[in-house]
Amino acid sequence: MTYKTHLSMGILFSSIVFLNVDKLELSTSLAIILFFSTLLGASTPDLDTPAGGLWQKIPAGSILSRIVRPVFIGGHRHLSHSLIGMGIFIFLYSLLLKWLGLFFPLLPITSYYILLSFVLGYASHLFADSLTEDGVPLLFPLDYHFGIPPNPFQKVRIKTGQWFENLVVYPLVNLAILIIIYQYYIHIVKR
């Protein structure tokens, strides 16, 4: 999937959990923090490619990406697109949140939700990539790529960046986000 679709898919996953399942009452500041944490989680698996959207947003990102790239065993869609990679990044992000909690005393109160938003963003990325032709190597270092629908039907999966993603998937994901936000807003107004 493209960077924009990954970001929207991450927001969709977080919206479903925080606004529909948990019905979390969000302050503006918490909503902004959760939003950016979700976007970070949705972007993180593509840190394994120098052309990744997150690298393009960071000053000197193309240089940094080439320095960091050897850490990602196997290149794009390997370690960072697996359950092991997801676990590693969740652990690193939780350490970052604990460290930040030392400087921002209110952060530990909401760090669960911040970490959860990162996890939802990351999971949404893996889910979205499982819908593409290549699938994802969830059990890396095993070389098998999981996809929806499973093999031998991989030919009907989405081609990244092609018309179906841009004209169907991306708009539908954004429409679903708007519907969830609208339902949440109506729920809040009725109180």
Write out pLDDT tens, residues 123-165: 999 999 999 998 999 998 888 999 999 888 888 999 988 999 9
Mean of pLDDT over the chain: 85
pLDDT confidence of residue 75 = 58
CB 99 within 8 A of CB 115: no
pLDDT above 60: residue 38: yes
Contacts of 109 (CB under 8 A, 6+ apart): none
The amino acid sitting at 23 is: K
Query: What single-letter DSSP state applies at residue 28?
Result: H
Please count the structural domains in the chain.
1
Structural domain range at position 83 = 3-189
pTM for this entry: 0.87
On the question of pLDDT at 34 being above 80, the answer is: yes
